[in-house]
Structure 1
Amino acid sequence: MGFFSYVFGPKLYQEYGLDKKLYEPGGLERFGDQIISTLSLMWNISYYTSPFIVTFLYKRGYLVADSISSFAKFTTSIGIIVVITLCIRGFGRTQSKSYVKMIRAIEMSKLSSDEETKRALRKFDFDFSSWQVDFDARSVQGDDKKRQLISASSRDTRQLRFANLPCKLAAYFAIHTFGIRMIYPGYIKILQNYLNSFLIEGRAKLVEEHNAVRYKVKTVDYNEIDSIFVDNRQNSLNGNTLVICSEGNAAYYEIGIMSTPLSLKYSVLGWNHPGFAGSTGAPYPEQDKNGIDAVVQLAIHRLGFAVEDIILYGWSIGGVSALWASNLYPDVKGVILDATFDDILYLAQSRMPESLSGIVRLAIREYCNLNNVESIQNYNGPISLIRRTEDEIISEDNRIETNRGNYLVLTLLKYRYPLIFKTSQLTRMKKLLSRPVDPKNFSLTNDDLCMSRLITYASDQGKSFPMRIGEDYTEETRDQMADFLLRKHFRDYKSTHCTPLPKDYFGIPWDIPIENGFVFT
């Protein structure tokens, strides 16, 4: 353990178990951090404004051979300042008891990977880039493990065939610059820097109050996913079920949706999208698919959960990740989608000038095709959708009839029960969804009859979808069944988009029981 371990060591945020919440560096370490942070900020500003800087220098005549020596002296001076600053910071760190203990734990983890060493390391919250990989998804990618997502990204081939090169270039540039950051604001580093103290506090709460364990997971495309696990298998019957939480486009597991299943004592696994907080990469579709795949692999091969004991829980754009995982692991216990849309295209087009709708369509379909309509038809297991009646994000002007979740639930029901949800019933459902659905507005007698019919059909024909039940139904019977199925798959919550979901709205999604003699399984 040499001096260089302190010079180039990770930034320490907190030592768990102490009264003080955040790690407070000493004078020399703080001084070094401030200078390095300032230089880093200046470099980032220079990088993003480099075209303007180069233009300015060129017009002033600085970009000539005679200026090379001046630039060399300038960069050498900056380099000397950086080296001196790093040494000052390193010396300051050697005077900190917490930092010395962390460095010792890191050095021991390099020599041994036993649980005692890892527990010593997990007493500290430090820069996640220096965290060692706990699980590598590539290690379980044998022939029997290699599976592709069923919901491959679709493309409008007609649009692509006739799109000219300028439109393609514009679409590519739009997505890979501001577009991906508009879709996933949580990917923006400035926002992450602003929220950093809240993220540290959120992790500390999970670790200290719920005994959470943090894991670094490597994906098949070499990204490193920041995840955290709360094990409640010894504390509650619900703990035998694992809820994997996929966050929204500006949310992180530290301050996200994990609190709802935790309040019900489920075991919970949270993760951050690629490029969010401690996760590397960027939240493009393929990277996000590999991210959620690696997290599920962690749950199965490292944490010891069976696929049948996993619930996939997605909020907002996290519903895309949850559905991708359900396509890859169709035997999961269920999927819960909260405040989720049908297709990102319609949300993107509504927020961009109409004149750019063609480029927006090309950009989305080609590079960021977040299409839940396709994915939801590739999953046949139990599923529950929650709509926010005052949603301001996936609705137009907070009008409930424009909520994109309406189209998603209608797609689900039409696919699963095509003879129930014919044109007349779909029209009726659209009208019903144009106002809050009253869960108390039903008849117990009709519900018992609908359940009996479903059980009989499923016991005789199986539960594979689409079900052909309802071919000989009257219009009244079809209406009753449609209402019943809507309420079993769909629930309203009177709130805006970002309000935490109360625990009363969270539960294992409904499934049709199968009659086996006198026993329902």
Structure 2
Amino acid sequence: AFEVVVSAGFRSTRRGRMAGSMWLRCILGPHLQRIHRSPDQSRPEGRQGWSYQPRSLEKHTDSIIGWVTLWSLSYYSSPLLLCYLYRKGRLCNYMFVFHALSVFAFFMPPFPPSFSLPGWGRWKNSEYLQFLSILEETKKNHTPTNKVLIFFPHQWEVFVQCCESVLVSIFFLSSFLIAHSFGRRMLYPGSVGLLQKAMRPMLLQGQARLIEEFDGQRNKLVACDGNEIDTMFVDRRRDGGQTGQTLVICCEGNAGFYEVGCMNTPLEGGYSVLGWNHPGFGGSTGVPFPQNEANAMDVVIQFAMHKLGFQLTEIVVYAWSIGGFTASWAVMSYPEIQSLVLDASFDDLLPLALKVMPDSWRPLVQHTVRQYMNLNNAKQLLKYQGPVLLIRRTRDEIITTTGPEDVMSNRGNDLLLKLLQFRYPKIMTDEGVRAVRQWLGCSNPLEEASVYSGYEVDDDWCVSVLQSYQADRDVLFPWSVGEDMTLEGRRQLALFLARKYMRNFETTHCTPLPASEFHSPWRL
């Protein structure tokens, strides 16, 4: 597959004082595969090409280098193999082999000095010396008569490739260790045993309150991965109210528990409520990695349908902060769910992870998040067709990338823009996005009202336009409404939709949401 092409005839080479420098160039030189026939047919050696025949020393040491390269890769990738065997429970079966290899590795360095041996064989080969002379002359003068194309790496390039393989192995191993050690605990501090121990009296008190005051029913659900998910259900259907017929499934934050978390907000609003704890939180077992989170959410929905007797159209999913991942996964996987409410949530974890880690770690953070902690809420949300309400904390200090004083760095803004741009692409043109961004930059209701009135938004006209489009077509998002509309009309619709899909709450990230701020999402 690789060859060296020499289209010029050999020229006479100097054989003078080249002992040290020529030997070094022979060591570092590329492989010579074939000597093609020369265009000069008058020369005897140009009538027919021939394959280069390395001397025995060069030929055998090439084989040695191949084995050394393989040994080096095995030598440096052994930590990955050890981790794999440990996780599979087979480490003890192979300990004798590892002991033997470790003794061998102690006496044999990963790269022996055999790289210099082919240079000696080449130095004694006149054909290789002629080739090397033409190659060096071409590099210096770029003469068109001597065209040399080199595609095969020499020994030191093999050495560099081995080093690169070692660095790549270290990179992937570091990513794995970060994700499964402090990375996971930073992302889900509620899974840390020390924090749970400190909160245990509070959790027990909250659990007792739910059971004794609200007649809550505690259940353990077994997810498909074997994790036990601790849940609490409060049934309000027998109270006779309309809200009690609706079940609100609550998804807690990264340090939240159903005993003291966002479950209390819909509970105070009179809804039937089903709360659950992340894997590794409270009475739930396991570790809160994305797939385990999705498995937990799946068994909670199945429990609500098949054991509690709720239809998907009677279920509202409500999430706070990082709970937006499981909530968006739920509506993506069960599109018949009635509606979704996301409080203080974000579009993607990666920008927030980059904010708290050193800039020099950027490639490592990107790979770790995408490989092990890929909480891409926006991507999942765009696959849902139902009503959505986003609640933005205007003084949020957690999901902002620059600080709570900069409301435009709140990643909830990006979640709203991505949702609107997907559902209404003809409205959310550059002018529409610019108007919505101006509205998002407001940090209090007075500023919002000023921007809204400045664009002279007519709510009744916006509703009529959208209802007319919906009546004429039975289509899913994205809609093409707004494609034949004036610039002013698109701006009005963009601001109208932004205010319907998002509500502002003037507080910080961890302030409990009052029941008065919990609303059903807007429906056309």
Common fold, TM-score beyond 0.5?
Answer: yes
Match of 1:88 in 2: none
Match of 1:195 in 2: 199
* 3-state SS of paired residue (1:268): strand
Match of 2:386 in 1: 381
Partner Cα separation in structure 2 for residue 432 and residue 164 of structure 1? 46
Q: Offset of 1:176 from its aligned partner?
A: 0.4
Q: Does the CA contact (< 8 Å) of 1:225 and 1:279 recur in 2?
A: yes
Match of 1:316 in 2: 321
Partner Cα separation in structure 1 for residue 271 and residue 279 of structure 2? 25
Q: Offset of 1:165 from its aligned partner?
A: 1.9
Partner Cα separation in structure 2 for residue 427 and residue 269 of structure 1? 39
Partner Cα separation in structure 1 for residue 431 and residue 364 of structure 2? 35
* 1:451 is the counterpart of 2:463: yes
Of the two, which has the highest radius of gyration? 2
Alignment counterpart, residue 170 of structure 1, candidates 171, 174, 184: 174
Which letter maps to 1:269?
Answer: L
CA change 1:447–1:190 in 2 (3 A) is same
Partner Cα separation in structure 2 for residue 340 and residue 253 of structure 1? 18
Partner Cα separation in structure 1 for residue 196 and residue 381 of structure 2? 31
Q: Deviations over 1:460-484 (max 9, x none)?
A: 1125100110001101111110111
Which letter maps to 1:361?
Answer: Q
Scaled by the length of structure 1, the TM-score of the pair is 0.66
CA change 1:162–1:349 in 2 (3 A) is farther
Partner Cα separation in structure 2 for residue 463 and residue 271 of structure 1? 35
Which letter maps to 2:465?
Answer: R
CA change 1:260–1:162 in 2 (3 A) is farther
Partner Cα separation in structure 1 for residue 166 and residue 296 of structure 2? 33
Q: Does the CA contact (< 8 Å) of 1:244 and 1:269 recur in 2?
A: yes
Which letter maps to 1:363?
Answer: T
The higher relative CO (CA closer than 8 Å, separation ≥ 6) is in 1
Q: Offset of 1:163 from its aligned partner?
A: 8.8
Match of 1:397 in 2: 403
Q: Does the CA contact (< 8 Å) of 2:433 and 2:494 recur in 1?
A: no
CA change 1:309–1:463 in 2 (3 A) is farther
Which letter maps to 2:330?
Answer: A
* 3-state SS of paired residue (1:226): strand
Which letter maps to 2:460?
Answer: D
Q: Does the CA contact (< 8 Å) of 2:391 and 2:502 recur in 1?
A: yes
1:100-179 aligned at under 5 Å gives the runs 164-179=168-183
Q: Offset of 1:458 from its aligned partner?
A: 1.0
Q: Offset of 1:459 from its aligned partner?
A: 1.5
Alignment counterpart, residue 255 of structure 2, candidates 242, 250, 255: 250
Partner Cα separation in structure 2 for residue 257 and residue 184 of structure 1? 16
Scaled by the length of structure 2, the TM-score of the pair is 0.66
Partner Cα separation in structure 1 for residue 265 and residue 388 of structure 2? 17
Taking only the aligned residue pairs, the percentage that are identical comes to 45
1:444-483 aligned at under 5 Å gives the runs 446-483=458-495
Q: Does the CA contact (< 8 Å) of 1:420 and 1:470 recur in 2?
A: yes
Partner Cα separation in structure 2 for residue 260 and residue 196 of structure 1? 21
Match of 2:513 in 1: 501
Which letter maps to 1:419?
Answer: K
Partner Cα separation in structure 1 for residue 385 and residue 363 of structure 2? 34
Q: Offset of 1:427 from its aligned partner?
A: 2.5
Q: Does the CA contact (< 8 Å) of 1:437 and 1:491 recur in 2?
A: no
Structure 2 residues without counterparts, runs of 5 or longer: 1-164
Partner Cα separation in structure 1 for residue 295 and residue 387 of structure 2? 23
Q: Deviations over 1:119-174 (max 9, x none)?
A: xxxxxxxxxxxxxxxxxxxxxxxxxxxxxxxxxxxxxxxxxx99922211111110
Q: Offset of 1:428 from its aligned partner?
A: 2.7
* 3-state SS of paired residue (1:225): strand
Q: Deviations over 1:436-459 (max 9, x none)?
A: 363655579811111111111112
Which letter maps to 1:268?
Answer: V
Aligned residues: 352
Q: Offset of 1:420 from its aligned partner?
A: 0.2
Partner Cα separation in structure 2 for residue 210 and residue 448 of structure 1? 42
Match of 1:267 in 2: 272
Partner Cα separation in structure 2 for residue 328 and residue 362 of structure 1? 26
Structure 1 residues without counterparts, runs of 5 or longer: 1-160, 513-521
* 3-state SS of paired residue (1:426): helix
Task: Could you list the structure 1 runs, at least 4 aligned residues long, displaced by more than 3 angstroms after superposition.
Answer: 437-445
Partner Cα separation in structure 1 for residue 442 and residue 175 of structure 2? 37
Alignment counterpart, residue 337 of structure 2, candidates 320, 332, 338: 332
* 3-state SS of paired residue (1:317): helix
CA change 1:163–1:403 in 2 (3 A) is farther
Match of 1:180 in 2: 184
CA change 1:493–1:445 in 2 (3 A) is closer
CA change 1:162–1:357 in 2 (3 A) is farther
Match of 1:411 in 2: 418
Partner Cα separation in structure 2 for residue 290 and residue 380 of structure 1? 22
Match of 2:87 in 1: none
